[in-house]
Amino acid sequence: MLSTTARTRLGRSKERAAADRDDLYEVLDTGLICHLGVVTDGYPMVVPTGYGRVGDTLYLHGSTGARSLRAAGDREVCVTVTHLDGIVLARSVFHHSVNYRSAIVYGRARVVTDEEERIAGLRALTERLAPGQWDYARRPDRKELAATAVLALSLEEASVKIRCGAPSDEEADYALPVWAGVLPLVTAWGEPVPDPALPDGIGIPVHIRDRK
């Protein structure tokens, strides 16, 4: 089980929270999508979506008509980013676990209205998902900007949880003839697949071909 909220933990240990800040940035800046939690009509709703970070602000975006965005604007939200690094295979079923890094951010999502900040947020979103594309692809025009809602979420109330390394088994179980260890999960970029509609002669840009 990965969970239990970290909301309280930050309250209990401010030193830990401060020490976690670099970890928080690392988890956010290596993730691709988050899971956005909102409350609609009293019910929880969790949707996957992109995000970007500028300093201590997280940006989310979406169609101005999207229900999750309407539910998130000027409302309390929870944004969770999770990296799954491996399966922890213990000697007992009970101590099976996963190695992971996750960040949870709580706060009120602010609807961004300042055009400069909106564009900075969209740029951060684009560059998180597809670094180099803000300067390479066609930028949003006035009509596209008008159709896009941008939300900002402060990283003030955020926390990080990390589990790594070998399983923790019951003392008596170490004598069992059972293999234990970690099965790592590895994520990598595959070969870029060109759009079939692409005309001849347009090569793959280096920032896409050599993406880390």
For 12, the 3-state DSSP assignment is helix
Q: Which pair of structure tokens corresponds to residue 188?
A: 């990598």
Which residue, 18 or 176, has its beta carbon nearer to a copy of itself? 176
Spatial distance between the Cα atoms of 162 and 165, rounded to a whole number of angstroms: 10
Spatial distance between the Cα atoms of 98 and 89, rounded to a whole number of angstroms: 8
Q: Determine contact, residues 21/155, Cβ cutoff 8 Å.
A: no
Q: How far is the CB of 95 from a copy of itself (least distance, A)?
A: 8
Q: How far is the CB of 210 from a copy of itself (least distance, A)?
A: 11
Q: Which pair of structure tokens corresponds to residue 11?
A: 């309250």
Q: Which pair of structure tokens corresponds to residue 206?
A: 């280096």
Which residue, 17 or 149, has its beta carbon nearer to a copy of itself? 149
- For 51, half-sphere exposure in the C-beta direction (CA atoms, 13 angstrom radius) is 34
Which residue, 19 or 176, has its beta carbon nearer to a copy of itself? 176
Q: Determine contact, residues 169/14, Cβ cutoff 8 Å.
A: no
Q: Quickly count: other Cβ atoms within 10 Å of residue 62's Cβ.
A: 21
Q: How far is the CB of 128 from a copy of itself (least distance, A)?
A: 10
Which residue, 50 or 57, has its beta carbon nearer to a copy of itself? 50
Q: How far is the CB of 24 from a copy of itself (least distance, A)?
A: 16
- β-pairing, 76-89 vs 97-108, is antiparallel
Which residue, 2 or 18, has its beta carbon nearer to a copy of itself? 2
Q: How far is the CB of 12 from a copy of itself (least distance, A)?
A: 13
